[in-house]
Structure 1
Amino acid sequence: MATNSKTTQKKADAKRAGKRARAWTAMVYPDSAPENWQEILREQLIECLISPLHDKDVLPTGEPKKAHWHVVLSFKNPTTFAKACEVFTEIK
């Protein structure tokens, strides 16, 4: 029976592969995010990492990239892309 359980679990894991993750990333742009976007994230009680503002990046053509922050949300359990999008939508 243990082998059957392992086989069943492997099938379930394969079916969900790529659909759920504990960490999701996005970029936040100063000109489109609400002023209190970091506070909004804190209120969600989801651990997150926020990079320093990237305002000096340049494209291969030499043109400046739009200023942005990289944000990583770290959920306690695997979470769907849709749930992560709900959180990111509040700050974009």
Structure 2
Amino acid sequence: MKILELSLSYAIGLLFLSTSFSKIVGFKRHLKEIADYRIIPQKYIFIFYIFTVFSEIYISCSLLINFQKKHKYTFGDTFTINLLTSNND
């Protein structure tokens, strides 16, 4: 199950990284796409662009580096702690 979780995390992280990269490379095209929706006022389009690109980069790094650790100790840590605290008499 852990392998599936890591695989999905890396796949989604790469997806976010590739979309942010394409938005950086196609800067003017993406700004035009944001403007075409006419939801955001013209003066805030660039700020929205910067926010979305940085948020996608942050999310991709978070998923690729795995910032969200669910378990404090791994099996090896638990095994070592049990060996050190066990009574060897």
Q: TM-score range by the shorter chain?
A: under 0.3
Q: TM-score normalised to the size of structure 1? A: 0.27
More helix by share: 2
More strand by share: 1
Q: TM-score normalised to the size of structure 2? A: 0.27
